[in-house]
Structure 1
């Protein structure tokens, strides 16, 4: 009876060992397959990362809103004076040739007097010069008198012209002075239409020669002044499209075009300025407002 039991137990033991080896082989194969699947799924992720870090087709810059030189004017006079009257406030709109202030200065009155006197003397001396010229042609007068009358006339004429030029610099027309006579106050007029800024005058203040009274700015044609760097020059060209946002105006996007590229690089920070025109106009634009811009590559 014992001889029969032992072979049966031996067969059962061998069967269990075979099943265990089969199970281990199956687990090993399953792990290998899973590893292959894992490697296969990781490949698209590598491609996605590479795509995300690739350089986009635009360059980003910081800058500010500026105005062209012909759209802003600093008002200063070649002579000084005391402000007699003004009501100008910063932000106020004024039209071209509108009187923004009047100044009082005795030198202005003297200049007008000099012009009127030299003009009258020049007329008399011109008539005398023409008379002496005719007599000299007929040999009825000496050449000395003719030359003297010519010199007197030309000297007075130059004095008249110099006074007229000084009056023109002050915005006074000599023709108006001849018609209306001496003006006691110098009228300061706006050279362009626009908004007043940096008003530095008040009644009773003395303004020195060359000292700015105020500025007039015309916001109708704003521009962008962007700070770029030498490493970005290859991606910027005249005519490149620009998209920008203005600080304080939300996510609204505006458009422009590169019109000028600086030709000198700053030696300290290796930067240069790029100017761009602005396509859209907006009453909220102010010179000096910061912008963030993107310049499209060509």
Structure 2
């Protein structure tokens, strides 16, 4: 037989023998895939790493959270806290030192106006006073004559009518002078003023100024606008599908276009009863909480969140939570950590509603609240990934 064929037959027989000797159990065994990435739940770091990465531990926060309703609107002031100042009588601006943003008090002079008509009105008042005195004396004389049946009754009636007419004129002139803020006592003593002050009707901040030296202003010109911010309120528009969830006393969180990162608080105090068919909304009014109107402006656009079903919950910052699918975890430092190290265990928690970068959590009863990682969970997760390979 050919030696080459003998060698090939020998190799074939040997391989067959080896295959026949393989156990069934070994042949059926499937490759094992490492699941260390999924099963690694404990991470140990050094004290230096703990300090350098700024890991912070602490218990959850106790907050008031609830189902939310989004709304938009604007800041408004009540009608008696928003004033437009006009001249009571046309005149020329003699002085004005106002700028937008100034705070003014009620009855503070905003500007000074000047016009010859102011002088003429005071002159007419003084003349009416003199005429009234004369007519009063004439009426008294005619009354005495009538009693003595000497004078004609017609003259008494005429004197009475003239006196009453002048008396009505005086009352009218005094009312006009009062509108011009001219002191009547000084005027009766003979002091005539060439100017009148333009006084603030309310205390508040100057919103608009339309005054220039030498400018003629009429009674219909809006010269100054003043807003009192002590009673600013939110005027919100809530869609019809959400309005049934709105009630008086609910908390409102809102931001303005000027302070988008600063959240402020208000409370619902009135739910409107009129439906706007065009916008499909209902007006909701909310009062600001105290000491929050300092940097707010009437007319500002706002975005608001209404807490429709508030309740007290325990919550953690979103940065403290790890989410894997629909599951939520936190890191908890273990009390049995070796000296000079910190050992953290990944613990599953039940999460709820989320608001303002906070999420409601329910912790297992075995977790010590003060051992929860509130800041630095990202670094611990990175170390966990390294361990898992």
Report the TM-score, using the length of structure 1 for normalisation: 0.73
1:138 Cα offset (Å): 4.2
Q: Decide whether the 8 Å contact of 2:182 with 2:193 is kept in 1.
A: no
Paired position in structure 2 for 1:11:
none
| Partner residue, 2:26 | none
**Whole-Å Cα distance in 2 between the matches of residues 199 and 288 of structure 1?**
17
| Partner Cα distance (1:131, 1:270) in 2 | 76
Query: 1:198 corresponds to which residue?
Result: 208
1:261–1:274 CA contact under 8 A, matched in 2: yes
Distance across 1 between alignment mates of 2:147 and 2:134? 20
Asked whether the equivalents of residues 78 and 210 of structure 1 are also in contact (C-alpha less than 8 Å), the reply is no
Distance 1:229 1:250 in 2: 23
CA distance, structure 1, for counterparts of residue 248 and residue 141 of structure 2: 65
Alignment of 1:276 with 2:286, yes or no, is yes
Structure 2 stretches lacking a partner, 5+ long: 1-65, 310-389
Cα distance in 2, alignment partners of residues 151 and 239 from structure 1 = 63
Of 129, 143, 147, which aligns to 2:139?
Answer: 129
Aligned residues: 245
Taking a change above 3 Å as real, the CA distance of residues 182 and 71 of structure 1, as seen in their structure-2 partners, is: same
Q: Which residue of 2 aligns with 1:65?
A: 75
Q: Within 2, Cα distance between the matches of 1:177 and 1:267?
A: 58
Q: CA deviation at 1:62?
A: 0.7
More displaced stretch, 94-103 vs 163-172:
163-172
Out of 110, 120, 130, the residue aligned to residue 120 of structure 2 is 110
**Residue 293 (structure 1) aligned with residue 304 (structure 2):** yes
TM-aligned CA deviation for residue 176 of structure 1: 4.3
SS at match of 1:198: strand
- Residue equivalent to 2:324: none
Shift of 1:61: 0.8
Greater Cα shift, 72-81 or 122-131: 122-131
Shift of 1:183: 0.7
Deviations 1:143-190 (A, max 9, x none): 211111110011111111111222223333434432462110121111
Alpha-carbon distance in structure 2 between the residues aligned to 1:166 and 1:98:
20
| Stretch deviating more after TM superposition (261-270 or 196-205) | 261-270
- State the 1:89 CA deviation: 1.1
Shift of 1:267: 4.0
* Structure 2 match to 1:86: 96
Structure 1 residues 58 and 143: alpha-carbon distance in aligned structure 2, compared to 1, 3 A threshold: farther
SS of alignment partner, residue 70 of structure 1: helix
The structure that is helix-richer by fraction is 1
Mapped to 1, the partners of 2:295 and 2:137 lie a distance apart of: 62
Unaligned runs of 5+ in 1: 1-55
Provide the rounded CA distance (Å) in 1 between the counterparts of 2:303 and 2:194. Answer: 52
Q: Distance in 2 between matches of 1:109 and 1:260?
A: 51
Report the counterpart of residue 251 of structure 2 in structure 1.
241
Give the Cα separation in 1 of the matches to 2:119 and 2:153: 39
Match of 2:160 in 1: 150
**Counterpart secondary structure, 2:142:** helix
Say yes or no: does 1:265 pair with 2:275.
yes
Give distance in 2, aligned partners of 1:71 and 1:138.
62
> Is 1:186 the counterpart of 2:207 in the alignment?
no
**Alignment partner of 1:216 is 2:237:** no
What's the TM-score, normalizing by structure 2? Answer: 0.57
The list of structure 1 runs, each at least 4 consecutive aligned residues, that deviate by more than 6 angstroms after superposition, is none
